[in-house]
Amino acid sequence: MPKVSEQERIQALEQKLKQLKTLQQRREAKARSVALHRSRRDELRRKILVGGWGRRLAVRAAANPSVDAA
């Protein structure tokens, strides 16, 4: 087995470290992307649900003005 100089060993380890850091950054970016997508989806769902509820209250109030909508 050929001997590897200390300098070559250090360079190989530095390269491996750089690859691992890049991989970690990609994973973190993907996690942020997924979380952002999930929060946008949840926010849209909330807006749709609240919007529908608000419209129902408005229709009820218009149909029966003597009843308070709140």
pLDDT of residue 4: 79
What the block records as the tokens of 41 is 């989806």
Q: Using alpha carbons, select from 69, 35, 34 the residue that is nearest to residue 53.
A: 69
Per DSSP, 69 falls in state: -
CA 66 to chain centre: 45
pLDDT string in tens for the chain (70-residue length): 567 799 999 999 999 999 999 999 999 999 999 999 999 999 998 888 888 776 676 677 777 766 554 4
Angle at 37 between CA 25 and CA 28, to 5 degrees: 10
Question: What pLDDT digit, counting tens, does each position of 41-54 carry?
Answer: 999 988 888 887 76
